[in-house]
Structure 1
Amino acid sequence: MLVFKEKSALRDYLSAQKKANKTIGFVPTMGALHDGHLSLIEFAKNACDIVVVSIFVNPTQFNNQEDLEKYPRTLDNDIQLIEKKTAKNSIVFAPSAQEVYGENVSSSHFNFGPVASFMEGKYRNGHFDGVGTIVKKLFEMVEPDKAFFGEKDFQQLLIIKKLVELTNLPVEVIGCEINREKCGLARSSRNALLSKEDRLESAFIYEILQQAKADFGTKSVIEIEEDIKTAFQQHPVLKLEYFEIANAKTLAPFSSQKEKYRAFIAAYVKNVRLIDNIALN
């Protein structure tokens, strides 16, 4: 399997593929790959001739230095996993920070509008500027026809669609269904930081989301939110950061049952932060 660490070599290779009329799919990751990532690669394989998987822990989207330092880095294992589990049409792009940013490791500012002001935008200052910066750089390096993102990071998915709109980059952004462990926990690279016991406790997050879905339409949003807060206050391990019911297109607060809504949650399992969401209607 081909592995590129320099953008110039990657561009030369992909340019030749495009001249042969092959379509390019792109799955950007921060590594520590799991079955959720592999499912995105499968989506891309079914839609495109060539799949580029980037592996890069992006420093500009972390507002907490400790979180950046402890983020799992398993490049060799990631490459082996892709090679073992996916077809030969997958290639890896694993650049250094200097290759991506040069000497200036910093974020650009984007006017994403109201969609960036809720939830992750509220609790992680500068996070979406970091996401927008790295995704724009990667899109410009890879020049994919289609890019695939998991709906676990649903707000991020909306941000990236807005980024494409703002920058007029010729790439189709495709959201893919959340991939879950048997207990219901959304797959995430951060799950590797959990003990076996904590991972089982974390299944509570999905249980809460399912309860919110069951109650939506029969209880008021305020009642659902209070029930969730009470449930977390009684939980011995998990600590709730936020729970919100928001419009699936704009992330605005609930206003009418006629719109599509999702429930969003962020919680800590000891010092590991996990997020998840679910469609309500």
Structure 2
Amino acid sequence: MSALPCGAPPPPPPPPNMAPLKGLSLKNIVGAVLMIAQEPTGTSQEQFRRKLKVIIEKDIPELSSKVLLSSNFPVCPIMQDGPCCGIVALAMAAQMLSKETTASHVLKTSQNLGFSLQGELFSAYNLAKLAEETLKCTSEVLDMRDSESKRSLLRHLANSHPVLVPYDGDGNNAPCLKNGHKAHWALLTGFLASLPKPLEINNSLDITEDTELCPLYHIKSKKSVPLHDQIVGSPDVFVYGIQGKSRNVSLWPLHNLLASNANLREVDPNREAETDQYLIPQEGIQSVLCNKIVILHS
């Protein structure tokens, strides 16, 4: 620090201590940043490609006799602030429907409708209604115990329709079995399935071969209806999932995700006791969350 010139007035006294502004906190500032869609970085995309390569080579048996078909809708991630996994999953789903909304708007609407206090959504039916209110779209709640539900789920994914799935999230956010104590929401954006060679290409099939990952093909349009039967019957079906605790896209075996979805029997007892912080359905999550998946379309 340089010396003051002779005759210069002394510096002004420091300002008095001021009370913090109401409603302004580090948590609120961080939350405002987290709840905004962010473009994926090149690094995250490269990491996902490496992860995809590992899954293809290690998790798909008899790979030499198969081809892999992928359909995915890239989505900008939104990080959650607090128990808002369903809120941000719905806000990300808006991108797939070419709708404009924000996680903050979805959160406020959920509170106004009496569906949540902090952003928690323990009912698939409430999330479906919230989607209709905020995105002006059509919603459908699938019961995955229905024999046709898997076919319907994959058909919607092949047509780039958002699929919202509640499940138990492990420490790495992958599906696990915790009886519903780690209930979490994810948005499914596509699928990866193995098919026997050779892959028959006809006029109804619009695909392109991956230049780096063999034998992977990408669906480029919504014309691939004839393949749905083969995809449903595939022994290796994975789904692309994104959720509010990571900026990275995940790829999970569909049967693992559905098993996790089917084990949502009860809310974590610690949360259930905090009745002033969470809105938990009186009928219990086994009736309104377990085996339930939400489909959205325009």
Bigger relative contact order (CA 8 A; separation at least 6): 2
Q: Does the pair score TM above 0.5?
A: no
> Which protein is bigger by CA-based radius of gyration?
2
TM-score normalised by length of structure 1? 0.27
Give the TM-score normalised by structure 2: 0.26
